[in-house]
Every structure is written in C-alpha cells, then in structure tokens.
Structure 1
Amino acid sequence: MIDTPERLAEALEELDHASWIAIDTEADSLHAYPEKLCLLQLSHPGGEVLVDTLAELDLQPLLAILHRHRLILHGADYDLRLMFRTWRFEPHAIFDTMTAARFLGVRRFGLTDLVHQFLGLKLEKGPQKANWGQRPLTPRMTAYAEADARYLKPLQEKLEAELIRLGRLEWHQETCARIVSEALRLNPPDPNLVWRVRGSHTLDRLGLAVLRALWLWREQEALRANRPTFHILNPDALVDLAAAASRWGNVPHQLPRHLTPRRRQGLSNAVKEALALPPDQLPDKPRHEHKRHSLAVGRRAVALRERRDRHAEALDLDPSFLASRSQLLELAETGDWQQTSLLPWQARLLEKG
C-alpha cells in the first residue's frame, strides 16, 4: 500500500516509464456521505500498486503520469466521474473493456464474466459491502483490489484484437471519447427535482411540500453523521410519512422506531414547517406532458427503429447500444444527421438504410 511520500516516489519512477497503465477505484458509498475515493488500484508492467488516496499525499505527479497514458478501465464512467470530482483529473485517452465487450456482442459484460470468457480465469467474488475507508485493509480486500486491476491489460489485448478484426475499433474509440467528455461534466442537481424520489407522483401539493422538507432534513442528518442517506430514512419511508402528514394535517404518530429522540424532533419540526406553508409556496405537481408527434415523425421513427434493428441483428449488437429510442426520435423529428447526439459511427450505420 502506498501511503507515504517515500513509497509514492518509488512508484512514480516505475509508472513514469510504464508502457501501459490500467486503473480501478474503490469508494465508501455504503458507509459515508458524501462518498470519498478511498483507493486507487494501478496495474502496470511491473505489477500492481495500491494507492491510499486517504493518506495525506501529493498525488499531482501521479495524476500527471496517468494523464500521459491511455488508461485501461472497466466501466470507466464511474471511476472517471469520481476522479474528476476528487482531483479534477482529465484523462488523455482511455480503453473501456466493458464498452469493448458490448461492441463484440457480449451480453454478460461484468469484469468477472469477461475475465472468465476471454482469459479462462475465475475471479473471486469481492467483499460486496466492504468499507474501503477503513484502515488497514483486510488481506481479502487487498487481494480483491489488486485482482480488479491485474487482468485489465490482458483483457484489453484480447478485446482490442477482436475489435480490429471486426473493423469496430474506431467505433470503440469514438464511444470512449464520449464517456470521457460526459464524465468531466459536473451538473449540479436541479433543486426542484432532486427531492422528488420514487413514488412522489402519488402525493398532492401539500404532501410534496412535506416530502421536500423531509428530504432536506435527511440530507442534513446524513452529512452530520457522515452516513449514507438510506441509513437515516429510505425513500419509501419519506413518501409514506409525507402522505400521512398531508392526509391528517399533522405529524404522523407512527414515526420510524430506529430514529433517536433528537432525530424524531428534527423530523417533526420539518413536517410542521412544511404544513404551515401558504398555498402559493407549495411545490407544483409534475406535469406529464406527452409530446404529440406528427404522423410523419412517427412513421420516420418506426422506419429508423426497424433499420436499427436490422443492423443490430446483422452485427450481433444490442439494438439500444447501436442507438437509443430517444436518439431515433430526435433524428425522426429533425431529419438532420449532423445535429443529433448520435456518434459518427452510429450515424454512418443508420444512414445506410
């Protein structure tokens, strides 16, 4: 484990001259709020390296080295978002093994499945609920973390060879570039939508006001306790409490038993404040406006979907991976192949007819 400046300096010397680098990350999303990047797993020609990202280390030299390499990842979106949020790290280029497998028509594209299918190896199932923020890591956690990165390079070699054989390497490169660009966006949540959890559509306006107040209270409690929000109250409980408060016009008598007296009081205060709001300050119910499309647009969308499905069957690809329903509808509406969210490889295929 690299957790001192001296160990980091030794690793940097090797990594700087590495011909390739594969990476993975571990966070503590099940144990802390907000989640933190706790571990960076690196594999390179010299072996595996675990970097303790919670140690007080200057990681800028390491990030500079990573930027200069094409990084090999599996399911890169999450790792890159986490690294960008933590360090504002921007990769130069990536190879995503999960995306590569999907371009080969593989339907089971988890890392364990791919390592077994392409390398003939069986990975041990990792600790599903491990707290990666704890120190020291257990031997099992260390072994799992190293294995997660160890097989990415040989897997990349197999997958890339198949992509080249099928003439799909450029498709993969375009898709990886989009994964990077989308991971580098930090879109702040819409304050009018973020609290509308599953089931909120069943509430009236007063119930929505209570739900909003409860959601904000839960956020504060989660931050205060440094615990995930589901440890405080799950979304279903929020909706049930909001519905009961709106129905009876008061704080529900049956509050969750696991709440401490302090939290019960805070929850009650949040409900009372929401119930006291004047009508003009209550949130509106969402408007479900189903956009009506002309018959011509509908016909074009159907034709595009049929065309997509034919190509997907011929290429043995998941149709939605070739083009999503929203992309097809967007194209049917505009008729402009240049002004769509389709990548060049997608547009070229669909234009073939």
Structure 2
Amino acid sequence: MDSSQDFNSLQEGIQKALISTIKSANRIASHDLAFQRTVNPDVAEQLDDQTSRILDLSTRLLSSAAKACGVKAPKLEDPEDVDMNWRKVVDVVDSVLEKADRALDEYTGLIKQRDNGDSDSNSKTKQAKSTSKVIRNANVKKPQLDFEIPPNNFPDGPWKPLLTEKPHAKVPLEDSLVTFVGDNGTTQYKHPYEPEILSMQYPDRVFQVLDPIPPQPVETTSATWVDTYEGVLEMLQELKQAKEIAVDLEHHDFRTYIGLVSLLQISTREKDWIVDTLKPWRHKLQVLNEVFADPTIVKVFHGAYMDMVWLQRDLGLYVNGLFDTFFASDALHYSSRSLAFLLSKFVNFDADKRYQLADWRIRPIPEEMLFYARSDTHFLLYIYDKIRNDLVQVSDRSNPDKDLIGRVLEKSRELSLSRHEHPEFNEETGEGSRGWYNFVLKNSHLGYKSEQFAVFRALWKWRDVTARTEDENPNFVLGTNNLVDIARANPPDAKALHSLLPLTAALARSRVNEIWSQIQELKAQGGPTLLQFFTSRDPATLRHNAAAPRATRAQNAALKMEEAAIAAKLPRSQLFGDVAVSSRWDGTKEAEIAEEEDYFPFPWQRFVEDITDYVPVAEPVPAEETVKEPVPPPEVEKDEEFTLRRGQKRKSEAIENDEPSPSEDESASDNDEEMEDDNRDSNAVIEIEAEEPPPKAARKAKKLEKKRKREEAKKAQEQQHLELRTKRQEEKLARKAQRKTQTQQQADTGDRAKYQAVPFDYSKAASVLHAKREDTKAAAPEDKKKVFDPYAKTGDDEIKPARRMPPIRGERSATFKK
C-alpha cells in the first residue's frame, strides 16, 4: 500500500471517528446532565473522567499545533479554562490555518518562499518574569497638581491647541489657529496641521518590497528612561536621523476627569526610549514636532484612534506621516487585529496584556511594566516591514479597488486629522460626550417614572460637577450602575439615600446632604417620565420648534407634566417613505387617524429629523377660530319610479353580416330559424321606461309589424346573396375555360417536339429486371387524393362564411318571464 492510500485510509478513519464523536456529544447534550449527576453518583464520576480525558487530549492537540506554528498554547485544566482561554485557542487554530495557506501559496508560487532566518524558525523571545499582582488603582499623589499648565475642567470656550511653534509648516501658526462651527453647532479650532497633512506624500520606500530589518535582541539591550528636558533634546537629535519610528502611549483616566498620558514610548531600528510625560514641564514635549510633523519620517502606530487626540491634548504633538498597522491588519483580513496577535504572529512574542489597564502613574515603574511598555514599540518596526511587504505584494496600484496599500495610507491620513474637543454635557437633553442621553438610549428599558427620572438626572449632574471640581473620573465619584439603582429605588429621605451609596464612593457619602437637596429641588420643578422624554425628542416635536436655534432646542422640547405623552402621526413615513399601508387610508382620513391614535416614537427617529423631503403638518387652528355654524346635511334626491319590461330582439351588425348563404343546406337554415324563434326571449334586450306599459293588443300589433319587416329584410338579403353566388360561378366557369385553352396549346407544342431527334436517356428508360413491378404500379389505380400545392392561389377560391353557432339550450334565464 503506497503513501497516498495510507493517507486516504487515515483520513477516512479520522472522519468517521469525528462524526461518531459529534453525534454522541449531541445526544449527550440533549439530556439533563445536571439531573443525572445529582441522581446517579456513577454518572457523575463517569462524566468527570471523560471531561478530564477530553481536556487532556485537547491540551495535547493544541500544544502540538502551537509548537508547529511557534505560538504559545493554553493549558486546559478544567472546563472553565476553555472560556477563559478561548482567545488563545482561536489564535492557535488561526495560526495553523494561516501556515497551511502560506505553505500552499509558496508551493504554487503565489508568494516568495521564506528565508531561513524567518521568525518562524527563531526561538521563543524571553521576557521578564511577571508579577502575580497588577496594581490598577494606586494611592499616589495626583501628578496633575504639579503641572505648569493644569487641566481646565470648566472651559469657557473651545479647546485651543498648545502649540507655540509650528515646525515643517506650509501655513504659519497664526493663520492655522482659526475657528469654525462644527456639526453640533459649537465653535471649534481647526487642526493646525491640516494643510500639511492633506498635501503630504508618503515616501517611495513605503510602496516597495524591502527586506525586513530584524529588531535588536531584547535580552541584550534595554530602553532609555527619559525624565529630563535635556534627555528629551538628546533623544530628538537621534530621532531626526531615523527614517521610521515606532510610537505608543500609556494612558490613565481613573483618577482624572479628562485623562493623563503617563508614558511615551519611541523606538528606532537601533534604540528604545521611554519618556516620563507626568513631569511639570510636559507641555514642552511639543519640541518633538520636529520629528512627529516631518512628512519624510514614517510614524508607525497600532490602533492610534485615541493616541492622536491624547498627544495633542496633553503634549501638543501632531503626527504627519502616520502608518497604522491596525488598518493594515484589517486590509489583509487577519483573524485578529490586536497588537498581541501581531507580536505572536511575526516575532513569537507573548505580550502580557494584564498591564494594559495598570496604573501607569506609579513612580518608579516596576521592571515588568517597563518591559511591557518597551515591547509595544521594540518589535513594531519589524512588524511594519513584514506587513507592508504583504500589502505591496497583493496591491494593484493601477486599480483603486485592489490598491490595499493606498487604502491603508489614506485611512491613516484621515486618522491623523483627529482633533480634541472639550467634553460636554447638556443638562436639559443629556447630550454630549459626558451626558446621559446615550446611556438612556441604550437602556431605554429602564422605564423611569417622573420622580425616578428626576433622581437620575440630579445624580448625573451632581456627579459630573463633582468630578470636574475634584478632577476625578465620574465613575470614581459614583459608579453608573449604582446611580441607576438609586434612581430606581427613589429613596424617600437622605438617610435612605445614604444607605444606597456604596462604600467605595467616599466623595458621595460625605456629601449626601448636598445630593439630597439637589434631588429635592429637581423633583419640585417636575419633569417628564422617560417615555415623555423620548416623545419630546420625536422629530415632529423638534420640527415644530425648528424656528429656535439648535443650541436652544432643548429648552423648547421640554414637556409639561399635565400633558400626555402623545405625538401627532406624521403624514409621511420617515423610514419607508410614501408606502401605502392600506387602500382604506386616503387623504381625507389621515388627519382624523393622526388625532385619534397615539404612538411611541423610536429613539432613532431623532436622527432622521433633518431630511429634506419632509412634508410639514398643518398646525391646528385655535379653538375660537374654528367655531362655525353647523352645516345642514345635503338633501338626498329621491329615485323616480320605473318599470322593467321585455324588449325586442335587436341584432348587431356583425350578426347580420354573417347570415348563411342560400347555397347551404336548407334543413340547417330551417333548424336555425326555429331555434332562433324558440330562444327569442333569451336574446331579448331589457329596456327601462318610465311610462306605463301599452295595452296588450298594441304590443301584439307592434310585434307583428317588426316581424314582417324582419322577414322582408331577410328575403332581400337572401336575394343579394343569390346574385353574388351566381356571379362568382360565372367567373369560375370562365377561368376553367381559359385554363383548358392553355392546356390544349401546351399539348400541341409537345406533339411537335416528339418528332425532333433527342439523345436517349437511360435514367428514364423502363426497367428490364423489374418489369413486372412497374407494370403492376402502372396498372394500379391512381390516388384521387388532392396533392397540396404550395404555389396555388388561394384567392381563386370563393370566400366561405363561418357557420352560425346554435343557441345554448337548457340555460335560459327566467328572470323576466311572465
């Protein structure tokens, strides 16, 4: 048996075993295992044994696959480990599939084969031993208290960029710091580097396939810690010599209102730096714009959505020449877009993401946390080389649909134009990045009553003001889930409110009287229920107040407590357009239905309030103007009396022209006439007259007169048909005589031709061998059947009319029979 047969038999055996296992697992899953485990101890023991065996087999299989791909396999000790390590299981399976795909592509020649020094053959990168506990919320002094430019949580205008200089500028700084009105109606400053970013062209090397440059060994090198301004200037001189740099940030937002950039990691091909960005002079780091704003130096980030905003908000840094590896991973359809996956895929590095949410304000930073921070940028340039080569190989620059590298760069360019804006909160509508509107929109099932909704809004407002004053995160002041529970409970007094506050909310527990007074004040003012609030945000209600500016629309949208939560039905569907719901609905009924029926608007209806094809509803006229005298109902005209009588038979012109000719069978004509007389009543025409019916004798005389006229017309028509038929017969006899004369002339011509000498034609000679057969054939009578002649003139034959269809018997109506 050859190897192919061995593989086929092995494949069939594995497939049969897999199908049997799946069937057994499905049968087991259909039973109540928890009940069986409780009732029968033996079943519980067997289930535990099988679970341990399956977990052991799964772990061994994952380990074998992970070893072949150079990734780390999870260890499954109990069923809970499957859910906890499911992401790692998926990564192992994806790595196996990707390796198989790449092997097939290399075999078929679609891509170039890997070199011997590829990352798959390298040994596992070592990393420092991680600590058992990660500090998430350290009890340290707030570093923002020492900043030379402290954060402003109560702004009185739009956020203004921190720039004092603008390196690599095409438009001067003074001309770049201009304002505009955004989509939400607020005034904002434009991106100061917008002209430079829009006109920037990426270097040609970005569109070329180049050999990846491996990173420096992480075991023998270390990152440079920068915590002085002089160290920043030294780092800047080395960064100017690089063609690509990798950048990442570590952010903290739990003990501050707007957040803090705690670390700035920068790596080149030769060196790594970790910059302390919590120093009082942190705003001076904008000097790094000499590199960050240089379009000839490519800045490599991964997932820089928030990094762009944080850099300009805290450090005054703007990125021109961004390459985001997240967009590249998405364009290449990787199974995962995370940086941890890319590190595992390209450099076999297992990043410990437990430190992603660590408190990066800790000083000095532990060695394990520094190693994690360094790993985010140390390998990123090598990943950039690999992923850029893959993009260039599969891209077609001449086809925009297949230009993946161009698409990734365009998305990166758009991301670098992100701007920071102050977090807003509208107390009336709850809109804004720090408002409660988005929360209640996602949790509209809460169904707060009027007082509950007032408690909810009062707590949210107090929490936001306190967080801004103390420079704390709103969730640190009071958790959102705790706020929702308190609003649902609607405490009757301050003591009950205090008992509902969690022990971790120290600021709220110490100010319970302040919170209670604000709740009481808002309750006294009254307010809508959650249902009424959504109704007030209905497009019809907002459009009714469209004359007011957008900024003051919230004040006009408020509902009075005594009003019901109703809204007029729109005359045109905002979602489906002019779609007829039913044929019973016409224009005269729409207004009545809109007034009688109520409806609850969907929360998303506010997003279609600005459509252009909206037909406004006419506003109701005041009650005093609509009072009119009652209009008497219109008089109904009485129907005049009329009588139905039997009418006389009237033939149509088509029937009269189709009368049969007298040459037809006389018996058939007689039968038709009898049938016509018998069924005269069935073909009668009903006439409606208003006068009294005539006497019986007059009716009979009139009937006889019509019958006589009809017989005379019939005789005249028969005479006309007879004359026409005679004329046609004479013409036919003349044509026959003419044809006979022509035939005689042709025969005479043939006799003269017999005496002329012609060569003998053997093909037409009589057969000697089959003489009897031909004699029999000649003696047989000729077939008298007329042969079809396609060249005959059909116009020579006379026109034969169609036979009249006899009347139907047995279905005569007796509706008007006397």
Q: Which residue of 1 aligns with 2:569?
A: none
Q: 2:424 aligns with which of 184, 189, 199?
A: 189
Q: Check if 1:94 corresponds to 2:318.
A: no
CA distance in structure 2 between the partners assigned to 1:279 and 1:288 by the alignment: 17
- The match for 1:292 is 575
CA contact (8 A) 2:286 2:316 kept: no
Partner of residue 32, structure 1: 256
Residue 170 of structure 1 is matched in structure 2 by: 406
Match for residue 40 of structure 2? none
Secondary structure at the counterpart of residue 353 of structure 2: coil
Q: Is the 2:355–2:369 Cα contact (8 Å) retained in structure 1? A: yes
Equivalent residue number for residue 517 of structure 2: 269
Deviates further, 269-278 or 132-141: 269-278
Correspondence for 2:238: 14
Q: TM-score, normalised by structure 2?
A: 0.34
Shift of 1:226: 3.9
Give the number of the structure whose residues are more often helix, by fraction.
1
- On the 8 A contact 2:322/2:412 being kept in 1, the answer is yes
Deviations 1:196-225 (A, max 9, x none): 335365223443332222112112333444
Task: Report deviation, 1:106.
Answer: 1.0
Per the TM alignment, residue 283 of structure 1 is displaced from its structure 2 partner at its CA by 11
The one-letter amino acid paired with 2:512 is R
Question: Relative to structure 1, is the Cα distance of residues 283 and 185 closer, same or farther in structure 2, using a 3 angstrom cutoff?
Answer: farther
Query: Bigger shift: 121-130 or 141-150?
Result: 121-130
89-98 vs 277-286, which moves further: 277-286
**What is the correspondence of 1:109-128 to structure 2 with a 5 Å cutoff?**
109-128=337-356
* 1:32, distance to aligned residue in structure 2 (A): 3.0
Q: 2:483 aligns to what?
A: 238
**Cα deviation, residue 88, structure 1:** 4.1
State the Cα distance separating 1:118 from its structure 2 match: 2.5
Shift of residue 189 of structure 1?
3.3
Instruction: Specify the code of the residue in structure 1 equivalent to 2:240.
Output: D
Deviates further, 96-105 or 127-136: 127-136
Q: Distance in 1 between matches of 2:468 and 2:422?
A: 20
Give RMSD over aligned pairs.
3.0
Could you say which residue in structure 1 is the equivalent of 2:81?
Answer: none
Q: Alpha-carbon deviation of 1:101?
A: 0.3
Q: What SS does the corresponding residue of 1:179 show, helix, strand or coil?
A: helix
Equivalent pair of 1:255/1:264 in contact (CA under 8 Å) = no
In the other structure, the counterpart of 1:341 is: none
Distance 1:11 1:40 in 2: 12
How many corresponding residue pairs?
297
Greater RCO (Cα-Cα under 8 Å, separation 6 or more): 1
Cα distance in 2 for partners of 1:279, 1:103 equals 50
Q: Take 1:161 and 1:295, find their aligned partners in 2: how far apart are those partners?
A: 52
Deviation of 1:288 after TM superposition, in Å, equals 6.5
Structure 1 counterpart of 2:501, from 244, 248, 256 = 256
Separation in 1, partners of 2:379, 2:578: 51
Of 201-210 and 68-77, deviating more is: 201-210
- 1:37 Cα deviation from its structure 2 partner: 0.9
In 1, the alpha carbon distance for the partners of 2:407 and 2:578 equals: 33
* CA spacing shift, 1:28–1:279, aligned 2, 3 Å: closer
Deviation at 1:174, TM superposition (A): 1.5
Bigger CA drift: 286-295 or 45-54?
286-295
Note closer, same or farther for the CA distance 1:265–1:99 as it changes in structure 2 (3 Å cut). Answer: same
Could you say if the C-alpha distance between residues 151 and 169 of structure 1 is closer, same or farther in structure 2, counting changes exceeding 3 Å?
Answer: same
Change (3 A) 1:125 1:281: closer
Task: Tell me the CA shift for residue 126 of structure 1.
Answer: 4.2
Asked if the contact 2:288–2:317 (Cα under 8 Å) also holds between the matched residues in 1, the reply is: no
Mark the structure with the bigger radius of gyration: 2
Report the 3-state secondary structure (helix = DSSP H, G, I; strand = E; otherwise coil) of the residue aligned with 1:18. coil
**Alpha-carbon distance, 1:104 to partner:** 0.4
Distance 1:281 1:294, change over 3 A: closer
- Give the distance between the partners of 2:258 and 2:459, measured in 1 at CA: 18
Structure 2 letter corresponding to 1:154: Y
Contact 1:126 1:141 (8 Å CA) reproduced: no
